[in-house]
Amino acid sequence: MADGDRDRDGSLTGVPALARLAASAWWHAAERGAGLTLGLGSRFVRRALGSSPAPANREPRERAATTDRDSETSRTALRERGEELLSRSADVAHDEELHPAYARILDNLSPDEARILRLLATKGPQPAIDVRRGLPLVSELVAPGLNMIGSEAGCRYPDRVAAYLDNLNRLGLIWFSRETLRDINRYQVLEAQPEAIEAMGEAGRTARTVRRSIHLTPFGTDFCEVCLPLDAPTEETGPAPANRSGADG
């Protein structure tokens, strides 16, 4: 190539139009690639075209800016909702009889979990035991949270009781207490159940039980009083007898 075909700045102003179009097509194909550095060859082509490509990281920056705007919008919306709640709390004319979470909680309960709640609401806290092996300060947990809630509540799937209790605890309706119930006889009945006896046998000579209890939270108590028919008859007792006053006889 003659020296006159190259300007002092190195651009190929004398290159035929067809070559310039080919170089342009090559550059756009490379620009759509993985964004790798094009090296000396790409710099040569940019000089030939007399232009520079757009920054490769423009799209991530735009996405980040959009995310920041959306996050700010979300914070603003949450703040507005919080301000609305505080305004309603100061409004003496506003009357909110039911907690707004109750409808959502009902959607997150299984029928067996409703039975468990009714049991706790009508019969009170229930005993539970942990079976451990070893000395008190250096013991190993063998079977945690054994209880009779499944049978006492009449659950259809008693093998799911542990999962049911976890869900009720997650919803804030029950809590697991380290306290022992006053009626020790209830623990003796629980420790005589086949599941407890099996766990004690697995624990061996150093087996021992740790007595605990399962309670409704204050939130759970209010939920049961509002949402569950606590005076409804159970399958065991059957429906209440009809009033037969005035019947023949």
User: Does 249 fall in a domain?
Assistant: no
Between residues 93 and 83, which one has the greater pLDDT? 83
User: Does 54 fall in a domain?
Assistant: no
Q: Residues 133, 214: one domain?
A: yes
Burial of 70 (0-12, 13-18, 19+ CB in 10 A): exposed
φ, ψ of residue 180 to 5 degrees: the values are -95, 140
Cα distance between residue 12 and residue 46, in whole Å: 10
Between residues 84 and 53, which one has the greater pLDDT? 84
Mean pLDDT throughout 64-91?
A: 75
Task: Find which of 20-29, 42-51, 53-62, 188-197 is predicted with most confidence, using mean pLDDT.
Answer: 188-197
Q: Residues 107, 217: one domain?
A: yes
Check which CATH number belongs to the domain holding 158 and give it.
3.30.110.190
User: Does 161 fall in a domain?
Assistant: yes
pTM flag (> 0.85): no
Identify any residues that bridge with 216 across adjacent strands, giving them in sequence order.
Answer: 174
Average pLDDT over the chain, rounded to whole? 79
pLDDT at 10 over 70: no
Provide the residue range defining the domain that includes 162.
Answer: 103-227
For the ranges 101-110, 168-177, 201-210, 233-242, the lowest mean pLDDT is seen at: 233-242
User: Does 202 fall in a domain?
Assistant: yes
User: Does 75 fall in a domain?
Assistant: no
